[in-house]
């Protein structure tokens, strides 16, 4: 198994290739992003310039920017950062009804201490469970796509409701990396096609992101930024800071503030052979927050199903032991087996390049979805 000489990505990662020195294309992608989004004094200056523009545009409004929150480390620190920049954020959260107790308390502790208001879109529990069943029977790895796309739509909806032009997201390529397209893909059409085929197709409460809505939000001028791209962000130091300042608690792992996401990560590893630690650890290696030796050692540790979470999933999704076993043994499929917007996104690549240059979509979307 050929492995990158710089990170821990190997030939199992979709779309990977290596240069003459054995360094993978995802490391080169990181270097490109690192050059485009500097940290240190230059990054601080860029953030201050952005904050000034946001404050000028938001004069007379109750809020001048939106921050997506989950109770996790990155989004919690992002709320603090916006306050430090002198902004007046509205925190926005999508509740798929699977939040951990720690995540809920983290959101409350941080927002209450900072005096930030919260806008929450609570999903209908039965509808979410029905849609989650559909994705399990579709046998695709994007079983957590429902939450991802619903959060994006909820951010847009809140921005539209309050007339806020600037949307902040807590993603950080230096600590999370970018998931390859061959592992994860999701869009509104993909969601619809799977739920029609394997469920009842009803989405009365689910905030899906249709292409028409996506274009509407872009042309209306809602700008999307990822401020942590400009910050020297040390994950472990940030956890300690949040705990000391806000009584914030660590929940055990990346994206594990949500109980359904914990199950999704387990299923990805054990059914699809997708271990997201390769992407996360590689990002930490590139940013100097983890040694390659420690990553190679840690990644060999097996991570079986969390039995407590599996029992909860079976109960809430109304799956018998036999049904769950059937789902586990279904042949693995991908987005290529269902209808998606991807062919359309590729045809619209020049348009999305312009949208990226205008900060109306993240560069990661342009890189990942239009090629």
Cβ atoms of 250 and 73 closer than 8 Å: yes
pLDDT in tens, 100-128: 999 999 999 999 999 999 999 999 999 99
pLDDT in tens, 13-63: 999 999 999 999 999 999 999 999 999 999 999 999 999 999 999 999 999
The Cα 310–Cα 326 span in angstroms is: 14
C-alpha angle with apex 126: 122 to 130, nearest 5 degrees? 115
pLDDT in tens, 331-365: 999 999 999 999 999 999 999 999 999 989 988 88
* pLDDT for 253 beyond 70: no
Cβ atoms of 25 and 34 closer than 8 Å: no
- pLDDT category at 302 given cuts 50, 70, 90 is confident
Q: In what order do the strands lie in the sheet with 117-122?
A: 117-122, 89-95, 65-68, 166-168, 223-225
Which sequence spans correspond to the domains of the chain? 38-273+305-369
Q: What is the pLDDT of residue 251?
A: 79
Is it true that domain 38-273+305-369 has CATH number 3.90.930?
no
The Cα 142–Cα 264 span in angstroms is: 9
Cβ atoms of 122 and 88 closer than 8 Å: no
Q: Report DSSP letters for 149-171, one per residue.
A: HHHHHHHHHHHHHHT--EEE---
* pLDDT for 252 beyond 90: no
Q: Taking all residues of the chain, what is their mean pLDDT, rounded to a whole number?
A: 94
C-alpha angle with apex 277: 271 to 278, nearest 5 degrees? 95
* pLDDT for 254 beyond 80: no
Mean pLDDT over 222-235 rounds to 93
Mean pLDDT over 199-217 rounds to 95
- pLDDT category at 241 given cuts 50, 70, 90 is very high
Q: What is the pLDDT of residue 305?
A: 83
Q: 317 CB contacts (<8 Å, ≥6 apart)?
A: 129, 132, 133, 136
């Amino acid at each position: 198994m050929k492995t990158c000489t710089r990170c821990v990505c190997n030939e199992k990662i979709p779309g990977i290739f290596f240069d003459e020195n054995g360094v993978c294309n995802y490391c080169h992608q990181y270097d490109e992003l690192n050059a485009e989004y500097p940290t240190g004094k230059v990054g601080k200056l860029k953030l201050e310039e952005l904050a000034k523009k946001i404050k000028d545009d938001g004069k007379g409004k109750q809020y001048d920017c939106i921050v997506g929150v989950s109770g996790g480390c990155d989004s919690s620190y992002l709320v603090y950062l916006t306050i430090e920049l002198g902004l007046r954020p509205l925190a926005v959260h999508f509740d798929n009804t699977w939040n951990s107790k720690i995540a809920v308390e983290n959101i409350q502790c941080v927002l209450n201490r900072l005096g930030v208001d919260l806008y929450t879109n609570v999903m209908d529990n039965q509808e979410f469970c029905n849609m989650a069943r559909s994705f399990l029977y579709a046998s695709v790895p994007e079983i957590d796509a429902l939450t991802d796309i619903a959060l994006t739509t909820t951010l847009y909806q809140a921005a539209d409701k309050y007339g806020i032009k600037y949307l902040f997201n807590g993603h950080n390529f230096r600590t999370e990396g970018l998931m390859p397209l061959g592992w994860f893909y999701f869009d509104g059409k993909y969601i619809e096609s799977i739920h029609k085929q394997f469920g009842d197709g009803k989405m009365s409460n689910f905030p899906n992101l249709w292409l028409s809505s996506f274009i509407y939000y872009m042309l209306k001028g809602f700008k999307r930024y990822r401020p942590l791209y400009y910050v020297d962000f040390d994950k472990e130091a940030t956890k300690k800071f949040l705990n000391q300042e806000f009584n914030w608690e660590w929940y055990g792992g990346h994206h594990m503030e949500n109980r359904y996401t914990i199950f999704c990560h387990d299923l990805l590893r054990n059914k699809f052979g997708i271990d997201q630690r390769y992407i996360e650890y590689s990002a930490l290696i590139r940013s100097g927050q983890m040694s390659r030796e420690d990553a190679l050692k840690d990644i060999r540790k097996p991570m079986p199903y969390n039995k407590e979470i599996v029992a909860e999933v079976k109960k809430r999704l109304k799956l018998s032991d036999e049904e769950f076993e059937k789902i586990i043994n279904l042949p693995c499929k991908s987005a290529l087996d269902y209808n998606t917007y991807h062919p359309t996104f590729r045809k619209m690549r020049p348009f999305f390049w312009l949208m990226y240059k205008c900060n109306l979509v993240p560069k990661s979307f342009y890189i990942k979805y239009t090629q």
